[in-house]
Amino acid sequence: MDLALLRTFVTVHRAGSFTRAAALLGLSQPAVTSQIRTLERQLGRPLFLRQARGVTPTTIGDELAHKAAPHLDALVEIAEAGLEEDSSLRTLHLAGPPEFTAERALPALTELTGEDGQGFALRASFGTAEETLEGLASGHHDLAISTVRPRGALLSATALCDEEHVLIASPRWAERIGGTGALRRAGPSALEEIPVVEVHESLPLVARYWAAVFDSRPVAPGTVVVPDLRAVLACATAGAGLAVLPRYLCAGALERGDVVALHEPTVPPLRTYFLVVRTGTLAMPHIARAHEWLEQAAADWS
């Protein structure tokens, strides 16, 4: 059986779409369709059910993918191993949320881009979880960091770390509501007079915090909306209002007293970050090395 046909088949099976598989393989969609039809004729059985959006594997298709995919991944690993010695042939394309990627991931990965001959070139891009995962699925990125665990067979996710969210404001606002103990006395109503600084009009971080800690919704609308958590911190430090931020991002400001934690719940809200790759690409040494390096670095981030 032609290995090229099997490679195309496994890619379609993982992608769930002839169009997406064609983009990943660098082929035209008609070429992918023709190869799948050829393989189906050779086997005498249909491998996919065509639908309005993508394809669904038949029982035979699932069985063939289960048998063939590990062996194809092993062949890729063998082929890629020979290129590992020449780092100039390797560029890692990383994508993730701007703040976490800039503050956590990139400083860790730059150790792998040194002059020891064992590194690789690094290219990074920022985006929302939806944009990042779509770009990874389309072949634009090699490795993604996401707060959303992807579904389907095309992408494979590994939990990387949890981040604790902290409710903060400038000392001036804490004094105005009666100190950081005001929440213990009056509950979230003590915060209603404080403006909110957020990254979106829907108040995603504040709303998640209120739901998890107070079992309610925030009352105050967003007064300052900026698209970057670092800008949120700067505005909160300047006294624009309260904000909910990951502790790693505001830890320095808390230590300096630029901002204060308005509340310290017994169980703080957490958000999980995932390392995501296209299934099978960890057979490529530069992706596997970056993946492993980030996992090791994350052990010191908590």
The C-alpha atoms of residue 184 and residue 92 are separated, in whole angstroms, by 48
Along the 302 residues of the chain, how does pLDDT read in single tens digits? 688 888 899 889 988 899 888 888 888 989 999 999 999 999 998 999 988 888 999 999 989 988 888 888 888 766 666 555 554 558 899 999 999 999 999 999 988 876 554 578 899 999 999 999 999 998 999 999 999 999 888 999 999 999 999 999 999 999 888 776 666 666 788 888 899 999 999 999 999 999 999 999 988 777 899 999 999 999 999 999 999 999 999 999 999 999 999 998 989 999 999 999 999 899 888 899 999 999 999 998 86
Shared-domain flag, residues 61 and 101: no
Shared-domain flag, residues 73 and 153: no
Q: Is the pTM of this model over 0.85?
A: no
Cα-Cα end-to-end distance for the chain: 49
Number of domains in the chain: 3
Residue ranges of alpha helices (H) inside the chain are 3-15, 18-25, 29-43, 59-81, 98-100, 106-109, 129-137, 171-176, 182-186, 204-209, 229-237, 247-256, 285-298
Give the chain's length: 302
Q: What is the CATH number of the domain that holds 135?
A: 3.40.190.10
Shared-domain flag, residues 241 and 276: no
Shared-domain flag, residues 206 and 266: yes
